[in-house]
Amino acid sequence: CASRSKPSGRMEIGRFLYGLCALFCLCRCFSAESTCKLKAKFNLNGYKDVEKKTVVVGGMFPVHKRIASTDGNTSRAPVSSGCEGFNFRTFRWTQTMLFAINEINERNDLLPDTDLGYVIYDSCFTISKAVEGTLTYLTGQDEAVPNYRCGTGAPLAALVGAGGSDLSIATARILGLYHFPQVSYFSTCSALESKFQFPTFLRTIPNDKHQSTAIAQLVLHFGWTWVGTIAADDDYGKYGIKDFKEQVEEAGVCISFSETLPKVSSPEDIQRIIETVVQSTAKIIVVFSSDVDLSPLIVELLQHNVTNRTWIASEAWVTSALINQPGVNSVLGGTLGFGVKRADIPGLQRHLLDLDPYADPLTEEFWETVFNCTLDYKTALKKAKQRAKEVNGTLSRMVPDGLCTGSESLAPLNNTYSDVSQLRITYSVYKAVYAVAHALHNLEHCVEGQGPFTGKSCANISNFQPWQLMYYLKNARFKVPNTNEEIYFEDGDVEGFYDIINWQVNGNGEISYVTVGHYNGSVATGDRMFIMNDSIVWNNEVLEPPRSVCSENCQPGTRKGIRQGEPVCCFDCIPCADGEISNTTDARECILCSGDYWSNDAHDACVAKIIEFLAFGEPLGITLIVISAFGALITIAVGGVFVVHISTPLVKANDPLLSFSLLLSLVVTFLCSIVFLGEPQKWSCMTSQVALALGFALCLSSIMGGCTVNRGKLDMLMLLLQILECHFIDLIIQAIACTVWLLVVPPHPIKNTSAQNIKIILECDEGSVIFICCIFAYDILLALLAFIFAFIARKLEDHFSEAKGLTFGMLVFFIVWISFVPAYLSTRGKFMVAVQIFAILASSFGLLTCIFLPKCYILLVKPERNTEEMMKPRAKPRDGTSTGTSASIATTATEVNASTASTAIDD
């Protein structure tokens, strides 16, 4: 029971005191009254071969799935729990370590003078058992004495293990206290990379930071933005999912749900997870868990027939036979996962099949489990008697049923234990043992005077310190037998290389593992992942990748509208407003089109606005030109008729000068409408409105000049009529006003972008609203006066009543322009111009028809009525009423006087 650490004093008295202490300790250990007592005795299973060995290598494997439950009785001394749930897969790992050690011992090129022994314990996939095994291993005997090495014999080299990350974290904390090397084959948790907490931890399996990155890249590769996660309730699951979440959330992926698998199977927790998976719309579920922890959930998924999900597997269960049970293809078919490097190990299968069932308790338990029998005759006999008693029979056979013969063959079973088609973790165990062997080889073959330690000294293979071997392990560099893979450690880790594995259903209806790509975390970021998309078979054997999004992508032309209280991946697609676009998928904001551009119908591009004006060449423009030209030609034709018949009474009676000025004004109004057509130019803007104003001014002043009344009836108006007969004064007033308008604020062409969003309307800006209102207000005043005079003059006593025609013409004029105002205000663009032209043409045709059609009818159709008699006033009725006339006042008065004189002479 001597202390492992000796005092460092150099004085003789120090050595003397140390000897006394050692002697005292030895005496106390053998004294009947000793107070050094074991607090507990551990219950450990495993393999041990240390006799006559040069160096002992430790190992720890989770051969069982869990520790056996206890009754919780505290009235008696506690007993270390046993284990249950034999795991064929991990038992293969254990046998692989034994195989590797035997293989190394038989080699002549590796540790030729050193015979390796081993001490291997079952951790039962439980932290407490892993700690028990670690303490026992360090003590060197079956009882654990903390901080003491009570055994003698070969030095301890390193511990290969301890299985899961949680187990390795627990053991690494203890081993780190003594600078004792630990090489893990299955612990991938990224927390173990901390050399401050775990200074002597190394592993031959990649760090989970590579795997988390690989899974994140896989999710991004297929465009999945809505993902569920399930993690084991241990450091492996928590750290793996944490690293994964950080990377995908930074890239815009949302986590639909995050569930934790219980370490101790809980039906309530499993049922809750099932409900979450079923209710979630996420089609992709990432699982960081061991196969042992995940197995209860898979069983429930099968019972609930939860399909149409794609599972992303971590390396801990991607090739696990515990998960890949018959019937799981409906649930797990199409699974994608990352597996560590695979290799073939020659001779391993023969070693696995050549087991002696009686060699040790673990192998015996394996044999009884795999063949469902017992190797103990007494046990078999007892069970046979019990069965006979239950059926009221007698035991007749000498060899009871259920007894193993020990000669059963493992080869035909083809179970997980003997399956060497997917040696991945097994290969990692193989590499871990060889890493320790190469470190020992380098330590043994150190050249004195060239060593790495103080004074360039070397360590002794028969008596070295753990920290000395740790140096060689950290610097080990070797090639694995048969595969030639080069192994070296960088801060205790190896390169992050994975095969991407797809679960596909083969012809037998069984799941097969198909490699569809690989990931190498040691190369440049863009070259890390290679995946053959066409080789993947997804869930339900479809070839297209599933979609897993909370909301479908917002297409160009829409923007994302975030839903309050929901993840950012859940959104509504809101169409961009008119004049705004989005030209990318999932745009957060719409872009406003500027200037002369507007959004297209799809709102995904800004296009030039439509340039609109009433062009000459379009059907409406051609129609208006034809009508305008027709009106002008008709007016000219009427003027020609008047010229031909200028000497006739009808033309003379209607004052030819006023008639021709009226016809001229109508030709001007007809033709000025054409100026409104075409793309507005500076000259056309200035000409159109001015020509219209002057044309109407001339027309209306001519109408007023043609309105005559009876002097006897309208003596009060005679003076005013005589003044207004000089109608050219009206035209001069209008011309002066238009000239001032053109000089001060002339009309000019503009681009109207506010009237219609999708169009640029080319139109004329009138320059000044005040000027144009004043000018056309003057025309309105003339029109009102003309109508009043025509209305009054309609009752003069002529056979031919021109005043009635003028009255009707002015009525048409007012009706047209009163209707024009609301029509003009309710239209936009080129149709405003069209409405204005229609008003001009309609009013012009109305005046032309009402004033000149009756005259032309008489001149051309009824020439017999074109006589002096017809132009004379009618006789007054006895009641003294008068009728309207069409002659001027002066002419009428002259004719009346002449008639009276002639009558007097005759009398």
pLDDT value of residue 713: 38
- CA 493 vs CA 183, 432, 475, 692, 728: distances in Å: 10, 12, 12, 94, 109
Q: Which residue type is seen at 412?
A: P
pLDDT band of residue 464 (cuts 50, 70, 90) is very high
* 3-class DSSP state of 501: strand
Residues written for the chain: 907
At 649, list the tokens. Answer: 């009474």
pLDDT value of residue 204: 97
pLDDT band of residue 33 (cuts 50, 70, 90) is very low
pLDDT value of residue 268: 93
Contact 509, 329 (CB under 8 A): yes
* Per-state percent for the chain, helix, strand, coil, to nearest 5: 45, 15, 40
Work out whether the CA dihedral 491, 497, 502, 507 comes out positive or negative.
negative
Contact 889, 711 (CB under 8 A): yes
| pLDDT tens per residue across span 704-724 | 766 543 433 344 444 445 444
pLDDT band of residue 13 (cuts 50, 70, 90) is very low
- pLDDT value at 8 more than 70: no
In this structure, of 55-69, 317-331, 416-430, 786-800, the range with the lowest mean pLDDT score is 786-800
Q: CA Rg, the chain, in Å?
A: 56
SS (H, E, C) 510-521: CEEEEEEEEEEC
Most confident region among 146-155, 623-632, 669-678, 682-691 by mean pLDDT: 623-632
- pLDDT value at 181 more than 50: yes
* 3-class DSSP state of 380: helix
The span from the CA of 612 to the CA of 552, in Å, is 39
- pLDDT value at 284 more than 90: yes
Contact 611, 758 (CB under 8 A): no
In this structure, of 341-345, 410-414, 481-485, 767-771, the range with the lowest mean pLDDT score is 767-771
- pLDDT value at 562 more than 60: yes
Most confident region among 159-163, 682-686, 771-775, 903-907 by mean pLDDT: 159-163
pLDDT value of residue 376: 79
Q: Taking the chain, what is the end-to-end CA distance rounded to the nearest angstrom?
A: 180
pLDDT band of residue 898 (cuts 50, 70, 90) is very low
- CA 826 vs CA 542, 621, 832, 835: distances in Å: 60, 20, 8, 10
Q: Is 641 left (phi over 0), alpha (psi -120 to 50) or beta?
A: alpha
Q: Is 653 left (phi over 0), alpha (psi -120 to 50) or beta?
A: alpha
Contact 212, 286 (CB under 8 A): no
pLDDT value of residue 902: 39
Contacts of 6 (CB under 8 A, 6+ apart): 18
The span from the CA of 211 to the CA of 699, in Å, is 94
The span from the CA of 569 to the CA of 225, in Å, is 7
Q: Which of 159, 161, 165, 163 is nearest to 179 (CA)?
A: 159
Contact 810, 787 (CB under 8 A): yes
Work out whether the CA dihedral 634, 640, 643, 649 comes out positive or negative.
negative
pLDDT value of residue 34: 46
Angle at 575 between CA 574 and CA 578, to 5 degrees: 140
pLDDT value of residue 277: 95
Rounded to 10 deg, the angle between the 235-250 and 208-221 helix axes is 40
In this structure, of 10-19, 163-172, 376-385, the range with the lowest mean pLDDT score is 10-19
Q: Which of 389, 427, 166 is nearest to 293 (CA)?
A: 166
* pLDDT (mean) for 188-204: 95
pLDDT band of residue 69 (cuts 50, 70, 90) is confident
Considering the chain, what is the average pLDDT of its residues? 83
pLDDT value of residue 301: 94
pLDDT value of residue 855: 86
Contacts of 398 (CB under 8 A, 6+ apart): none
pLDDT value of residue 769: 79
> What pairing do the DSSP bridges indicate for beta strands 529-531 and 511-520?
antiparallel
Q: Is 130 left (phi over 0), alpha (psi -120 to 50) or beta?
A: alpha
At 766, list the tokens. Answer: 């009138």
Q: Which of 870, 888, 718 is nearest to 796 (CA)?
A: 888
Say what the alpha-carbon torsion angle 121, 416, 404, 45 is, to the nearest 10 degrees.
10
Provide the CA 89 distance to its chain's centre, in angstroms: 41
The span from the CA of 404 to the CA of 413, in Å, is 15
Block residue for tokens 């006589």:
867
Contact 188, 214 (CB under 8 A): no
pLDDT value of residue 660: 86
The span from the CA of 638 to the CA of 845, in Å, is 12
- pLDDT value at 398 more than 60: no
Contact 868, 650 (CB under 8 A): no
Q: Is 555 left (phi over 0), alpha (psi -120 to 50) or beta?
A: beta
The span from the CA of 782 to the CA of 786, in Å, is 6
Task: List alpha helices for 140-207, DSSP H.
Answer: 165-177
At 434, list the tokens. Answer: 């060889």
Bridge partners, residue 573, by sequence: 560
> What pairing do the DSSP bridges indicate for beta strands 748-752 and 610-612?
unpaired
At 796, list the tokens. Answer: 């003069």
* pLDDT (mean) for 876-897: 41
In this structure, of 260-269, 373-382, 587-596, 834-843, the range with the lowest mean pLDDT score is 373-382
In this structure, of 59-73, 486-500, 836-850, 858-872, the range with the lowest mean pLDDT score is 858-872
| pLDDT tens per residue across span 502-561 | 999 988 888 999 999 999 998 898 899 999 999 999 988 888 899 999 988 899 999 999
* pLDDT (mean) for 858-866: 84
* 3-class DSSP state of 159: strand
| pLDDT tens per residue across span 340-360 | 999 999 999 999 999 999 888
pLDDT value of residue 823: 83
pLDDT band of residue 232 (cuts 50, 70, 90) is very high
Contact 282, 275 (CB under 8 A): no
Of residues 514 and 24, more confidence is placed in 514
* 3-class DSSP state of 700: helix
- pLDDT value at 838 more than 80: yes
Q: What is the DSSP letter of 374?
A: B
* 3-class DSSP state of 696: helix
* pLDDT (mean) for 616-631: 91
